A = this chain, B = another copy of it.
Amino acid sequence: MSLVVVGSVAYDGIETPHGKVDRILGGAATYIALSASYFARPHIVAVVGDDFAQEDFDFLASRNIDLAGLERVPGKSFFWSGVYSHDMNDRQTLATELNVFADFDPKLPAAYREKPYLLLGNIQPALQRSVRAQVSKPRLVGGDTMNYWIADYRDDLLATIKEWDFLLINDSEARMLSGENNLRRAAAKIMEMGPHTLVIKRGEYGAVLFRQDFHFMVPGYLLENVFDPTGAGDCFAGGFAGYLAGENVGLGDPHVDEKTLRRAVIYGSVMGSFCCEQFGPNRFRTLNRAEVDERFQEFRDCTGF
């Protein structure tokens, strides 16, 4: 099955306690698609400048990612750089240069419009909504957002997520969006805003999936070395939605299997954990599906009782 992924494809400058790279492939859509590619065929909708390197294009294509929707325009690609704190729980942004991304107005290629699985990376809510309006037979639509849109584009954001099946955000965003400090009550409020499925990511502490009738918690995988957390949340999203697309499970289905949802959360966690093992998206240059399934089993071993 296919998963249409809309978001940024960018270059990042990253500094962690383990080292520094001045320029490496990045962006939400990149991480989501790389992660999802282990489960489904991702189709990226994004824009890059004429500085976008052929080797990065080739890398994405080598992971079975369809790049027909990756627009190339004159100018420079989106660039972000930041420095992580010693414990890597905080990061400071040094530069955000939108460049060609400033005028991003995502248009789905005709061939994507009937695809049923759509994941919207963290971009302006109005753009997310315009993409949603372009798909004709959605079985699974959802995505990510961030504090900036919650604070300054609230009405836009509410109109956007009203049409979503699922929302993936982190715990501080969930508190901000709902105005509730308690996670369970925050989740209940957010599910009244539209998405019937909510995944709250808690960084190193794991994630919680909420539905009306149950919730499912997974602790974070304990890595011995967190090399670079950049993209981990997007890889979670890619693993989660990619797995559902691969299983051809729409979240709106009346009898969606709870077990499948739980497994999707675990695959999200698995992919997020791998992402942190090397700089940028480099872990996905060598990661294979057997390793993914081995870590899935490790989650079972570490949490079963």
Contacts and interface: CB of A to CB of B under 8 A. Distances in A.
A90 interface: no
Nearest to A222: B184
Contacts of A302: 214-217
B301 A263 contact: no
A222 B208 contact: yes
B303 A183 contact: no
A155 to B, nearest CB: 27
Interface string A199-239: 00010011010000011111100111110000000000000
Contacts of A303: 216-218, 303
Nearest to A216: B302
A265 to B, nearest CB: 8
A304 to B, nearest CB: 7
A86 B181 CA distance: 9
Contacts of A263: 305
A218 B301 CA distance: 12
Interface string A105-130: 00000000000000000000000000
A89 to B, nearest CB: 10
A305 B182 contact: no
Interface string A165-189: 0000000000000000111110000
B218 A183 contact: no
A302 B266 CA distance: 13
Of A183, A303, A305, most buried by chain B (CB within 10 Å of CB) is A305
A262 interface: yes
Interface in A74-132: 86-87
B222 A305 contact: no
A157 to B, nearest CB: 23
A285 interface: no
A303 B226 CA distance: 24
B182 A226 contact: yes
A283 interface: no
Contacts of A202: 205
B301 A214 contact: yes
B214 A222 contact: no
A199 to B, nearest CB: 14
Contact of A183 (B182, B206, B222, B305): B222
A225 B262 CA distance: 25
